[in-house]
Structure 1
Amino acid sequence: MALWSAIRRSEQRQRRDLDRTVLARRVGISPSSLYAYLKGRTLLRSTTLDRLLDELQASPGERRELASLREAVELTDQRDRVTDSPPSGLPTPRQLPPVTRGFAGRAAELRTLDASLTEGDPGTPFIVVIYGTAGVGKTTLALYWAHRLKDRYPDGQLHVNLRGFDADQTPDPGQALDGLLRALGAAPESVPCEVDAKAALFRSFLVGRRMLLVLDNARSAEFVRPLLPAADDTLVIVTSRNRMDGLAVREGAHRLGLGVLPYRDALALLERRLGAPRLAAEASAADELVELCARLPLALSVSATKVGASLETFVRRTREVHDRLDALGSQERDLDLRTLFQTSYALLPEPAARLFRLLGLHAGPDIDEYACAALLDDDIPAARAALSVLVSGNLVGELSSTRFGSHDLLRAFARSLADHIPPDERTAAISRMLDHYLGTVVHAGRHIQVCRTEDLPWAPPPRRLPPLGDYDEAMGWLTAALPTLGATVAQAVAEGFDSHAWRLAWAAAVFLRRTGRRADRVLIQHAGLTAALRSGSPAVVATSRRLLADALTRMGQIPRALSLLHASLTTCAELDDIRGVFQARLSLIRAHEAAGAPATALRHAEAAYGLTASLGDSLARADALTCLAKQEHHLGRHAESLRHARRALRLYVRIGYAEGEADIRRTIGRAEQRLGRPEEAVAHYERSLELDRLLGDRFWEAHKLQDLAGGLEAAGDAGAARLHREEAWAAFVALRHPTADLIRAELDGAGPDGPGSVAPAQDRS
């Protein structure tokens, strides 16, 4: 009837009757067909309707009304033909691809997915997005979960690969809808051309059906949205390399971010592929392969097909290649990691793409937005925006609220891109990054060694400084950045930025000592000395030798430490560097004390004290008095030790040097205990422990707990003594320090000399 009305209105506008035969000929149909359309016996094709409306000179309003009516009739017709068991006997769609052989792990993720099914809102479809970087196993997990659930959706399971990251194909929701509609029984000739119309028809088909829909490899919410049903009894599983923020915000999608496999699950995947006997026979090589593959499921699966006769040989070759992606690559594009990473990278806007390339120049395993800004030579908002794009695309992960990083294979891909950065641009970016780290570490050092800022090297003020306003913030940043700092010092040495390398090592020395990072401390100071030796400066070499010697002393490598310290002392004397000589003497005291030679250490302490008059430095005098007090204590001269220690304590308190106060109170406590005053000893131990906890000095906190246990035991409180000794044991275990074994033996009653027999700790170094 609406079409008849349109013809009559057209006749009124043209002031003449329209010949139906002529009209049919102009539209390209037979007169009988036109009458069938007008009587509603046949549905016009959309193109035929458009031509007819052109001939009628229909208004925009008439066009919209008739197009809407036609679409509604078509939707009803299509739905009726499918739901009323069409003559073709079209089977219920069961399109899920098979589950990948050798599926392993993901138990926690599966529990999360199962639990999410109870959180849907009535009246809306349930949408789950599984996102993660290329090769992390999104599709495998989605299909595994879908197969577990398929019996709950008896009206069918649909699957479509959206090919959102294919390099040679642009995602087309309309094409995907064509396939879905055909699977549901829509006649090809009745499927409309417009994407919106196809989407409406698709939604109509799913009303009243319990169906499962897997939309695999989606690029963005924009391409997924036309494929979403309106029915509340449909489960939609979307996989993507992007986080799909739009689906979460607008459609309320549940999201599961997929990371690399835990170590045990990665090993289980290899076992499924290679067999348990083989992995047991080459267990060490299997462990290394898991790490070489960054625990990325696709890399592990591809590697399993390439291992050959010897797992150890394959691992050795993989380890030795310059670009690990070459060793783990595949001739098949959908299995080749470099190709997959490249397709994600190719879609990045240029600011984010540039940052990703520059991240290939960054040696550390993680980074913050301030270092990213330094790499980009831009401000923090620009770095934050670029990082956000990389995080959304899962080329970079958000490891914490302030730090970002990627797994080893993505970092290898970034390095391969960085290889093509022009040399001048590369050098400038590395220089900016090293300036940033040096300036930030020195700035942090001013907060953690307030009374010793003269020991810090010069550094350019950082243009982009993280929030380091107090001691806790400085220690927190240094703790978070430590793995990156070690790698950065090594990179500076390798790239020839020697001044940055030794200055970074110097600036990090106190933090490394205070937090008990013994192995890291040796590695960083060794790299610093390597750079210092190339600097041509005897004074720089002397200081770097001393700092490395202090680190070696803490590790118990005394002969090597003494050799370095004597060389440092000689150089400083030749340069007439009194402060350098003084510091070398202090380090020699610590080394000889650790070697169990207090008499030799005392001679160096006396020589150091003799230099303090020339230095005119109260802090130096307090340090020298502390050294005298300690060696006198070791030699059994407790009264003399206590006299020197109390003088040192007064100086430290007046200066406000908490670390020195914590140190000397320990010596006072030990002297008081030896002189038969355990209550006074306990009070000093408790104050010393309190200060070390405030300073975050894990190494000395452990020792003070042991001291306090001995004092409490001497004071007759055996129960409290044991509790503190157990706490000390746990602290040394966490530090991987050999003293833990001695304390354990003492707790078990097997100490060589009974309670309190643990050997005294060396001086602070």
Structure 2
Amino acid sequence: MFTEHRSYTVAVLVIQVLGRLRVWHDDLEVDAGPPARRLMLGVLALNAGRLTTRRELIESLWGERPPSSAVNVLHTHTKHLRRLLDPRHSPRDQGGVLSTVGDGYLLRLPEAALDLLRFRRTMAAAQRAGSDGDPARAAALFREALRLWEDDDPLCDVPALEDHPKVWGLKAERRRAQLSYWDLMLRAGHAAEIIAALAAQGAANPLDEAVQARLIRAYQATGQRTIAFERYEATRLVLAEELGVEPSEELERAHRHLLEEQESRGVPRIPRQLPAPVPDFTGRAGELALLDAANARRPPGIAVICGTAGVGKTALAVHWGHRNRELFPDGRIHLDLRGDDAEHALPPHEALGRLLTAVGVSDQDIPADTQSRAARWRTETDGRRLLVLLDNAASAEQVRPLLPGTHDTLMVITSRDRLATLVALHGAHRVELDLLPRTDAVHLLRRLLDERAGTDPGSVDSLATICARLPLALRLAAEYAGAQAHLPLAGVVTRLRRAGPLELLDWGGGAAIRHVFGCSYRLLDAEAQRLFRLLSLNPAPHSTPACVAALSDVDEIGAARLLHRLASAHLLRCDALGRYGFHDLLRAYAAEMSLAMDGEAERQAAVDRLLEHYCGTAVEASGTLYPGWSGSWRHAGLALKPGGVTLTPGAALSWLDGELASFGTICQFAVRQGRPERAVTLAAALHRYLEAGHGTEALSIYECAVDAARGMGDSEGEAHLRTNAGVILRLLGRYAPAVEELSEALELCRRIGNRHGQARSLSNLGIIEERLGEFASSAARHSEAIALYREIDDPFGQAAALTNLGNLEESIGEHTEAARHFLAAHDIFAALGERAGQAIALSNLGQIYSSLGEDALAVAKLREALSLFREIEHRDGEATALSNLGTALCRQAKFDESLWHLEQALAIFQATKHRYGEASVLNAIGEALRTMGRDGEAAQRHRLALAIAAETGDEDERGRAAAALENLG
């Protein structure tokens, strides 16, 4: 651009402001100085030929708070600028390029010396040529004027002047010049010469209606009518989305010219029927990518978007359609099939008539019968790149007659049904739409609530939870919050929780939550409706077919069939494990319908069957996995009856793992339903399973069940459950509350004469006393427990107590006695088929053999124990075996293998929050590292073990860590 000045040989000086600020002396560009001086020169150049007051310069440089030295600084800058602009004159010379006039400065430049003056002179000449009827010369002068601009923005490298009124005024001059030039070229029939520049400006300024109108005219003039229509539609949508306004008269006029030309040529109108996209569309990146992939397939064919009511199926389809409108130059059709209303669903015959009308077939040319209409539709769509959005389809049967004969047209179908037939027979690409992820749900609410969301993010998160992350509910809740402007968001959340979300979100006519759920419900047959209602009685987050069979009093095959029907209608969700559930809003609707339609006797019978299912299956599963433990229930006076199913060990463990998150909820539900004995039964049946690394869940279950037993006056049950709770607290390393719980259980057992309960409490108190270093007391507890178990002929309890006594003897160095007791325990457990007990005994034996230096035997026993623990998925037992095996391998100098086993054990103990085990294995890792000569790392592990042992009061591991650290120095 700078070469423009070379033809002005008279002017030594050239200043450019139409882009960057640049100063030239002949062909040499000179530095204009520091930012403040460049800013001052920029203001002076904008006012070239007119006085620039000191006040204007000071405000430009410093704003409203100039320094006291401002005038002196201006004088300094002026002196340097005079030297820069006119080096032949003295800086004090007032007759040069820059002079002081009164209370300001005057920059005197000839037109040739300033690109701004040349631009204005050339523009004036262009306008005169246009008025004189010389469009060719006018166009040439416009081009010359616009070429003077190096950048869209004047003084673009002087950011402090970005908002200066004269800069904005100069931008407006350039815009007028561009528009005038484009108008001239369009009138002269030279649209092809400017279409590239117009398209670039249009892409950079999508909201500039004047540019967009001229771009539409240019496309029309060059025969690109489809693209012209697309450009109008895109501009209309962005104006609606970004500004909430309709197109201006200028843009509408360009559109009318297109339509008039189309009609005069007899060209069928291109359908543009997609509804306006929802504002603030949020998330769904994965689903949009799936639609992109469906369209990218060759041939593209059919995409089915399915999901529950209110999840945003139509919003996704419309958003994708608008985003990809340029891919469908022959049009976008939208047809609501009204599948949510069985009585008013659109028949294929009528739907075909509307589709044919959309592609330009006149009423008189539309065939009378359905088959002929379908054939005509296939003819009309052949070779046309159309997007057809069939919204709200009821079934595949409703849609199949509407499918085109070729794959040039992309069919996007939304439905609450999975439309399996379309996928199976027509290769449809299914996009399952689930609830919004929490981050997207919160983001949507923040956008909808605007400033209010920033003041109370906690309430925004609560609102997302109340609305079950369902997009329709989120939008209605935001609208409700907006109507309650007098309430803080926390108040809105409180009101929603108090009245129930269905009650307060039940507005908006056809958009109301209750209405849209009701439409899906009414499409079900009576059996499926009944099951949908009864499922609301199960408080667990999910239901298996076996659970549903009990709840609804049908066989499991019938239950699976009904569940599939509900899932296909997206009234239930099925997870990867084959369990079914629904979100909170659907649950609330199902509960509301059950209260209205199911009698109290039927509801209570369903609840009884549900609780019987959970208790019976828990007893069956525990009896399968831990057969020796059933004697504990019997001795505690608990009559636990297995369910009517037979479970393999794998199925038993799978069921327990799958329902773990539900057990606490079911216990609390049983108490609320007036069936506290069911809570006691369920908690008692789960004890051995809960011991195996599920301590956190166990404590909440036992808290509920102990209260239930106490409330019933069931002392046997209370004592048994309190002992169970004490065991869990012990395993978690919380010794003080464990001792309190076990001591109270022991006293209660003594009062009611329950010798089995006494033995269990004594044995567990002995374990804790061993951990706390109280060895004599611990030995006495274990001996008393063994004697009690023998008196009542409980071999399982006897074997468990022998194991505990062996652990004590091993910890105080009595290895031979410990081994004898472990072997005796193992034999009893093996006779009882109690694999967990066998594994524990084997693990303990392995540790003893390792201590005695019989490393090969130790490793063999420990590997056998580890295999058993893994078979029954006893996590804490697995970790103990891994830890003992790591120690044995270290003795064999297999250091890498040793550390790998120890680190695996640590990870499990940390995951199950087994604090004693964590401290023990940290000490073992420290000892292994020290053996390897890695003393610094060893000390770090021992310090961690010491901190945990101090926290839990574990004297055994505390002393072990302290001694190791002392030896390490």
Residue 274 of structure 2 corresponds to residue 96 of structure 1: yes
- Where structure 2 has 5 or more consecutive residues not aligned to the other structure, the ranges are 1-261, 927-936, 957-969
Correspondences of 1:65-80 after superposition (within 5 Å):
none
What is the CA-CA distance between 1:304 and the residue it aligns to?
2.9
What is the CA-CA distance between 1:137 and the residue it aligns to?
1.4
SS of residue matched to 1:216: strand
- CA deviations 1:559-583 (Å, max 9, x no partner) are 4333332332233223333222222
- CA deviations 1:462-485 (Å, max 9, x no partner) are 45x3xx532111101111122233
Instruction: Give the counterpart of 2:466 among 268, 289, 292.
Output: 292
2:86 equivalent in structure 1: none
Q: CA 1:312/1:227 → structure 2, altered by over 3 Å: closer, same or farther? A: same
1:482 equivalent in structure 2: 660
Distance across 1 between alignment mates of 2:626 and 2:428 = 50
One-letter amino acid of the structure 1 residue matched with residue 894 of structure 2: D
One-letter amino acid of the structure 1 residue matched with residue 472 of structure 2: L
2:407 equivalent in structure 1: 232
SS of residue matched to 1:214: strand
Distance across 2 between alignment mates of 1:452 and 1:705 = 25
Distance across 2 between alignment mates of 1:402 and 1:301 = 31
What is the CA-CA distance between 1:429 and the residue it aligns to?
0.7
1:387 equivalent in structure 2: 563
Q: Is the 8 A contact 1:645 1:664 kept in 2?
A: yes
Residue 726 of structure 2 corresponds to residue 726 of structure 1: no
Q: CA 1:186/1:552 → structure 2, altered by over 3 Å: closer, same or farther? A: same
Distance across 2 between alignment mates of 1:534 and 1:243 = 49
Distance across 1 between alignment mates of 2:918 and 2:459 = 31
One-letter amino acid of the structure 1 residue matched with residue 478 of structure 2: A
SS of residue matched to 1:242: coil
Q: Is the 8 A contact 1:529 1:548 kept in 2?
A: no
Correspondences of 1:194-593 after superposition (within 5 Å):
194-275=369-450, 282-307=456-481, 308=485, 310-318=488-496, 320-321=497-498, 323-327=500-504, 329-400=505-576, 402-420=578-596, 421-456=598-633, 457-459=638-640, 462-463=643-644, 465=645, 468-514=646-692, 516-593=693-770
- CA deviations 1:603-659 (Å, max 9, x no partner) are 211111222331234333322221211223334444433343333334334544322
Q: Is the 8 A contact 1:351 1:386 kept in 2?
A: yes
- CA deviations 1:325-353 (Å, max 9, x no partner) are 234x1421343222211110111100000
Residue 940 of structure 2 corresponds to residue 751 of structure 1: yes
Q: CA 1:595/1:270 → structure 2, altered by over 3 Å: closer, same or farther? A: farther
Q: Is the 8 A contact 2:842 2:864 kept in 1?
A: yes
Q: Is the 8 A contact 1:325 1:413 kept in 2?
A: yes
Q: CA 1:313/1:594 → structure 2, altered by over 3 Å: closer, same or farther? A: farther
2:136 equivalent in structure 1: none
Distance across 2 between alignment mates of 1:670 and 1:755 = 23
One-letter amino acid of the structure 1 residue matched with residue 551 of structure 2: L
Distance across 1 between alignment mates of 2:283 and 2:266 = 43
Distance across 1 between alignment mates of 2:313 and 2:705 = 44
Distance across 2 between alignment mates of 1:624 and 1:654 = 16
SS of residue matched to 2:294: helix
1:109 equivalent in structure 2: 287
What is the CA-CA distance between 1:762 and the residue it aligns to?
12
One-letter amino acid of the structure 2 residue matched with residue 100 of structure 1: V
Distance across 2 between alignment mates of 1:332 and 1:280 = 26
SS of residue matched to 2:543: strand
Q: Is the 8 A contact 2:731 2:915 kept in 1?
A: no
Q: CA 1:677/1:385 → structure 2, altered by over 3 Å: closer, same or farther? A: closer
Distance across 2 between alignment mates of 1:292 and 1:593 = 49
Correspondences of 1:706-717 after superposition (within 5 Å):
706-717=883-894
1:698 equivalent in structure 2: 875
* TM-score when normalising by structure 1: 0.81
Residue 338 of structure 2 corresponds to residue 163 of structure 1: yes
Distance across 2 between alignment mates of 1:305 and 1:599 = 70
SS of residue matched to 1:217: strand
Q: Is the 8 A contact 1:652 1:660 kept in 2?
A: yes
- CA deviations 1:133-152 (Å, max 9, x no partner) are 01111111111222233222
One-letter amino acid of the structure 1 residue matched with residue 699 of structure 2: V
Distance across 2 between alignment mates of 1:373 and 1:762 = 52
Q: Is the 8 A contact 1:435 1:460 kept in 2?
A: no
Distance across 1 between alignment mates of 2:560 and 2:891 = 58
2:305 equivalent in structure 1: 130
SS of residue matched to 2:537: coil
**Structure 1 vs Structure 2 CA RMSD:** 3.0
What is the CA-CA distance between 1:681 and the residue it aligns to?
4.0
1:51 equivalent in structure 2: none
Single out whichever of 249-258 and 451-460 deviates more from structure 2. 451-460
- CA deviations 1:466-520 (Å, max 9, x no partner) are xx53211110111112223332222111111112111011111111222x11111
Q: Is the 8 A contact 2:742 2:765 kept in 1?
A: yes
Distance across 1 between alignment mates of 2:825 and 2:955 = 18
SS of residue matched to 2:502: helix
2:317 equivalent in structure 1: 142
Distance across 2 between alignment mates of 1:545 and 1:234 = 69
- The structure with more radius of gyration: 2
SS of residue matched to 2:274: coil
SS of residue matched to 2:361: coil
Instruction: Give the counterpart of 1:627 among 804, 808, 812.
Output: 804
Distance across 2 between alignment mates of 1:756 and 1:396 = 48
Percent identity, aligned pairs only, is: 34
What is the CA-CA distance between 1:675 and the residue it aligns to?
4.5
Single out whichever of 212-221 and 719-728 deviates more from structure 2. 719-728
- CA deviations 1:294-352 (Å, max 9, x no partner) are 2222222333333456444433443x32533234x142134322221111011110000
SS of residue matched to 2:679: helix
Distance across 2 between alignment mates of 1:159 and 1:437 = 49
SS of residue matched to 1:95: coil
Q: CA 1:419/1:444 → structure 2, altered by over 3 Å: closer, same or farther? A: same
Distance across 1 between alignment mates of 2:519 and 2:771 = 57
One-letter amino acid of the structure 2 residue matched with residue 259 of structure 1: D
Distance across 2 between alignment mates of 1:86 and 1:443 = 82
1:646 equivalent in structure 2: 823
What is the CA-CA distance between 1:737 and the residue it aligns to?
4.7
What is the CA-CA distance between 1:394 and the residue it aligns to?
0.5
Single out whichever of 146-155 and 666-675 deviates more from structure 2. 666-675
Distance across 2 between alignment mates of 1:736 and 1:573 = 32
Q: Is the 8 A contact 2:922 2:941 kept in 1?
A: no
Q: Is the 8 A contact 1:260 1:297 kept in 2?
A: yes
Q: Is the 8 A contact 2:773 2:955 kept in 1?
A: no
- CA deviations 1:358-393 (Å, max 9, x no partner) are 001011111111111112212223212211210110
1:19 equivalent in structure 2: none
- Where structure 1 has 5 or more consecutive residues not aligned to the other structure, the ranges are 1-83
Distance across 1 between alignment mates of 2:786 and 2:813 = 20
Distance across 2 between alignment mates of 1:104 and 1:609 = 65
What is the CA-CA distance between 1:739 and the residue it aligns to?
6.4
One-letter amino acid of the structure 2 residue matched with residue 731 of structure 1: I
Q: Which has the higher contact order (CA 8 A, sep 6+)?
A: 1
